[in-house]
Structure 1
Amino acid sequence: MRKIAYIRVSSEGQNTARQKKALKQAGCTVFYEEKVSGATMERPQLQALLDELQEGDIVLVHEISRLSRSTKDLLEIIERIREKGAGLKSVTETWLDTSTDNPMNEFLLTIFSGLVQFERSMIKQRQKEGIEIAKAQGKFKGRKVEVTEGGKKAQKAVQAIEWYKEGKSVRDICKTLSIGTGTLYRLLEREGLR
Structure 2
Amino acid sequence: MVRKVGYIRVSSQQQNTVRQKKSLKEQGCTVFYEEKISGATLDRPELQQMLDGLEGGDIVIVHEISRLSRSTKDLLEIIDQIKERGASLKSVSEAWLDTSSDNPMNDFLLTVFAGLVEFERKSIKQRQREGIDIALSQGKYKGRKTKLVEGGEEEVRRNAILEAYKNRTSIADIRKTYKVGTGTIYRLLEREGVNR
Normalised by the shorter chain, which TM-score bucket?
A: 0.5 to 0.7
| Residue in structure 1 matched with residue 116 of structure 2 by the alignment | 119
Q: Deviations over 1:38-63 (max 9, x none)?
A: 9xxxx513325625x997x6623412
Check conservation: 2:51, 2:81, Cα contact below 8 A. Answer: no
- The equivalences for 1:160-171 within 5 A come to 160-171=161-172
Q: Percent identity?
A: 29
Q: For the residues of structure 1 that align with 2:19 and 2:117, how far apart are their CA atoms?
A: 24
Selected match of 2:62 from 60, 74, 77: 60
Q: Secondary structure at the match of 1:127?
A: helix
Does structure 1 residue 69 correspond to structure 2 residue 66?
A: no
Give ranges in structure 2 of 5+ residues lacking alignment: 70-74
- The equivalences for 1:92-111 within 5 A come to 92-97=93-98, 103=102, 106-111=103-108
Q: CA-atom RMSD, angstroms?
A: 4.0
Report how far residue 112 of structure 1 moved: 1.4
| Residue in structure 1 matched with residue 42 of structure 2 by the alignment | 37
| Residue in structure 1 matched with residue 50 of structure 2 by the alignment | 46
Q: For the residues of structure 1 that align with 2:127 and 2:23, how far apart are their CA atoms?
A: 41
How many pairs align?
174
Give ranges in structure 1 of 5+ residues lacking alignment: 82-87
| Residue in structure 2 matched with residue 80 of structure 1 by the alignment | 87
Q: Secondary structure at the match of 1:6?
A: strand
Structure-2 change in CA distance of 1:48 and 1:160 (3 Å): closer
Structure-2 change in CA distance of 1:147 and 1:140 (3 Å): same
Structure-2 change in CA distance of 1:154 and 1:176 (3 Å): same
Letter in 2 for 1:118: G
Q: Secondary structure at the match of 2:87?
A: helix
Report how far residue 146 of structure 1 moved: 1.2
Structure 2 length normalisation: TM-score?
A: 0.66
Does structure 1 residue 130 correspond to structure 2 residue 127?
A: yes
Q: For the residues of structure 2 that align with 1:78 and 1:16, how far apart are their CA atoms?
A: 31
Check conservation: 1:134, 1:140, Cα contact below 8 A. Answer: no
Structure 1 length normalisation: TM-score?
A: 0.66
Check conservation: 2:8, 2:17, Cα contact below 8 A. Answer: yes
